[in-house]
């Protein structure tokens, strides 16, 4: 399983809105786990987390732990932040394509999830870089899932 | 039950409606008018352009920039008291391109004869910030994006990075798009930015979000615009040249259960629908208004609409490919959102307005496309990197 981290490094950790149908995802982040929904109807791994399958319209959802590894699908580097990120730039916004446990991924790619890349020089990042999850706790006790070089 | 393959849709809006009025607010900073007043100013302007009055309007269209209760607040403010049809489709800056298609469909179905579409807002002097997405915490995707410091800018830059990775697209190629827009804007006295820039100047402008530079980005302007779409019966009574609606297509694109492909836009769906309805091909298009929130928006859209193969956009826009009047695809001859105007962070209406000018032969002589018979206007509202509306409109000169 991935590292839990007590520090957010340079980046702010804004509170997410924890909607009831995504609560298992957020509860798991508090324990340093990347827990994803999977549809019991069609087997697809669902992203973003929700209590509904956008592939087959089922409400029958189970949750499983992903390994927390993946690769960079794309990234950008804002030079000026807004709101909570006002003093955080430059930082890396990225899509990370997640690895899925054997047998859960089907034939297609894993979900591409929006995140930040941390603990790296922003200008050293490349598409395809291998990364692993780190968990940055918020004040209310959940965590943002970010990624660092694997 | 699965419906399976349905028969081809036989209804069409081809020839069912005409653009009778088009008006772009001349100002780019409007401190002394309210947003509803600007809606009213552009409504009056477009109706006057058509030779009609507020009392002739029986259908009204507006989007998320309209204050208060949208069409209800604005119908009351404007004094529209014989409306038989309203539509507040909100797909960001592409809304107004879609509204023309919706108005044509309503006219074709006999629901109305004179449709008014308005847009107005004041991001420079009215307090609303750049981006104008209005996204709030109740959006189910909010917590999986916004806490990471995302913005409209970061999300377009994500698309640019991936396109560069897959196809070798370069910043210099993206810069060519800005150069073409600025070359056109020098002839537009109302343009926010009128100086011609070079590729080098774009590349030397500050990086705002790698890989996008400041000059890869559209302007932020107060302003507005309006359109009047009418039935053929009404068009025949007017003295004004009224270009005809030939085809329309639209499609939302979203992250698709997290498997988003950042190298294409919703134009891969909206474009073919519009071309099929219009009975024309990309090779028939004399002039194109292509939504230009950022240079990457233009590059991907040109590929997706079929003006070149996927991945060849960088080569297509190079060497003056987009420059009027004689480039491969003369585009955004008003200077576009990159230089002229991106009123209240929503450029769809100005895309249609410049297409109408071209078909009427009323673009600036330096950028007027000779014998402009077929024009395309395309809107992209939202973010390439997450979700956006895509709307394609094809218009003909025939009056």
Q: What is the mean pLDDT of each run of 10 residues along chain B (399 residues)?
A: 69 94 98 96 98 98 95 97 97 98 97 98 75 62 96 98 98 98 98 98 98 98 98 97 98 97 98 98 98 98 98 97 96 98 96 98 98 98 97 92
Question: How many residues make up chain A in this entry?
Answer: 150
Q: pLDDT tens-digit profile of A117-140? A: 999 999 999 999 999 999 999 999
Query: Is B81 inside any structural domain?
Result: yes
Query: Is B384 inside any structural domain?
Result: yes
Burial of B69 by CB count in 10 Å (0-12 exposed, 13-18 middle, 19+ buried)? exposed
Query: Is B209 inside any structural domain?
Result: no
Burial of A63 by CB count in 10 Å (0-12 exposed, 13-18 middle, 19+ buried)? middle
Query: Is B131 inside any structural domain?
Result: no
Backbone dihedral region for residue B223 (phi beyond 0: left; psi -120 to 50: alpha; all else: beta): left
Can you point out the beta strands (E) in B39-81?
59-61
Query: Is B150 inside any structural domain?
Result: no
Residue partners of A1: CB distance under 8 A and separation at least 6: A32, A33, A65, A67, A68
Residue B120, CA distances (Å) to B65, B103, B191, B221 in order: 6, 19, 17, 10
pLDDT at B126: 84
Residue A4 has pLDDT above 50, yes or no: no
pLDDT at A105: 67
Residue A6, CA distances (Å) to A139, A144, B33 in order: 12, 12, 51
- Give A65 to chain B, closest Cα distance, Å: 17
Nearest to residue A28, comparing CAs of A71, A69, A70, A64? A64
Task: Show residues of chain A in contact with B160, CB under 8 Å.
Answer: 76
Query: Is B245 inside any structural domain?
Result: yes
Residue A8 has pLDDT above 50, yes or no: no
List b or e across B130-147, with b for residues whose CB sees 16 or more CB atoms inside 10 angstroms.
bbbbebeeeebbbbbbbb
pLDDT at B173: 98
Q: Which two tokens stand for residue B108?
A: 């074709």
Task: Show residues of chain B in contact with A116, CB under 8 Å.
Answer: 148-149
Task: Indicate yes or no: CB of A78 within 8 angstroms of CB of B153.
Answer: yes
d(CA A73, CA B32): 46
Is the Cβ–Cβ distance between B265 and B384 less than 8 Å? yes
A132 strand-pairing partners: A69, A148
Is the Cβ–Cβ distance between B299 and B313 less than 8 Å? yes
Residue B368 maps to which CATH number? 3.40.47.10
Interface ipTM: 0.94
- Helices marked H in B266-388: 267-278, 295-304, 313-317, 348-360
d(CA A30, CA A137): 7
* Domains of chain B: total: 1
Task: Indicate yes or no: CB of A12 within 8 angstroms of CB of B149.
Answer: yes
Domain containing residue B228:
18-126+217-396
Query: DSSP label at A85?
Result: G
Residue of A nearest to B206 (CA): A79
Domain ranges of chain A: 20-149
- Give the residue numbers in B contacting A (CB under 8 Å), as ranges: 137-138, 140-151, 153-155, 157-162, 165, 206-212, 255, 257-260, 262, 385-386
Query: DSSP label at B117?
Result: E
Chain A, chain B: beta-carbon pairs less than 8 Å apart: 120
Question: What residues 25-64 of chain A have any CB closer than 8 A to a CB of chain B?
Answer: 44, 46-50, 54-55
Tokens 């519009």 belong to which residue? B274
Residue A3 has pLDDT above 70, yes or no: no
pLDDT at B130: 42
């Amino acid at each position: 399983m991935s590292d839990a981290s007590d520090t957010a490094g340079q980046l702010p950790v804004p509170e997410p809105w924890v909607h009831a149908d995504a609560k298992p995802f957020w509860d798991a982040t508090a324990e340093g786990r990347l827990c994803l929904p999977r549809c019991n109807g069609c087997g697809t791994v669902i992203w973003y987390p929700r209590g509904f399958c956008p592939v087959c319209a089922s409400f029958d959802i189970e949750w499983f732990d992903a390994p927390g590894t993946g690769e960079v699908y794309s990234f950008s580097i804002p030079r000026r932040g807004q709101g909570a990120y006002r003093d955080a730039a430059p930082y890396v916004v990225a899509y990370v394509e997640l690895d899925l446990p054997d047998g859960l991924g089907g034939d297609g790619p894993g979900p591409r999830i929006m995140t930040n890349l941390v603990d790296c020089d922003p200008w050293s990042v490349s598409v395809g870089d291998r990364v692993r999850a780190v968990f940055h706790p918020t004040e209310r006790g959940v965590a943002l899932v970010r990624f660092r070089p694997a | 039950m699965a419906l399976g393959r349905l028969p081809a849709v036989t209804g069409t809006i081809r020839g069912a409606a005409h653009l009778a009025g088009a008006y772009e607010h001349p100002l780019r900073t409007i401190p002394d008018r309210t947003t509803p007043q600007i809606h009213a100013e552009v409504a009056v302007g477009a109706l006057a352009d058509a030779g009609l009055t507020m009392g002739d309007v029986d259908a009204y269209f507006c989007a998320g920039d309209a204050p208060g209760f949208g069409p209800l607040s604005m119908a009351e403010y404007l004094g529209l008291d014989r409306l038989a049809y309203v539509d507040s489709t909100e797909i960001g800056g592409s809304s107004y391109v879609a509204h023309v298609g919706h108005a044509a469909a309503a006219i074709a179905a006999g629901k109305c004869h004179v449709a008014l579409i308005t847009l107005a807002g004041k991001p420079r002097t009215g307090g609303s910030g750049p981006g104008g997405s209005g996204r709030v915490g109740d959006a189910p995707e909010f917590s999986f994006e916004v806490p990471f410091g995302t913005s409209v800018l970061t999300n377009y830059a994500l698309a640019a990075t991936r396109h560069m990775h897959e196809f070798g697209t370069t910043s210099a190629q993206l810069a060519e798009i800005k150069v073409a827009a600025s070359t056109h804007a020098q002839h537009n006295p109302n343009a926010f930015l009128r100086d011609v820039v070079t590729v080098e100047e774009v590349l030397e402008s500050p990086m705002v979000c790698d890989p996008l530079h400041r000059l890869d980005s559209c302007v932020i302007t107060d302003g507005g615009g309006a359109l009047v779409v009418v039935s053929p019966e009404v068009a025949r009574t007017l003295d004004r040249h009224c270009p005809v609606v030939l085809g329309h297509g639209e499609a939302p694109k979203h992250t698709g259960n997290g498997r988003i492909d950042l190298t294409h836009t919703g134009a891969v769906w909206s474009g073919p629908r519009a071309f099929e309805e219009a009975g024309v091909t990309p090779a028939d298009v004399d002039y194109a208004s292509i939504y230009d929130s950022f240079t990457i928006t233009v590059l991907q859209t040109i590929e997706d609409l079929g003006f070149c193969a996927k991945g060849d956009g960088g080569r297509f826009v190079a060497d003056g490919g987009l420059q009027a009047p004689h480039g491969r695809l003369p585009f955004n001859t008003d200077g576009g959102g990159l230089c002229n105007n991106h009123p209240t962070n929503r450029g769809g209406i100005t895309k249609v307005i410049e297409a109408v000018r071209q078909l009427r032969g009323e673009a600036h002589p330096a950028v007027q496309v000779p014998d402009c018979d077929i024009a395309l206007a395309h809107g992209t509202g939202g973010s390439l990197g997450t979700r956006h509306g895509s709307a394609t409109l094809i218009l003909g000169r025939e009056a």
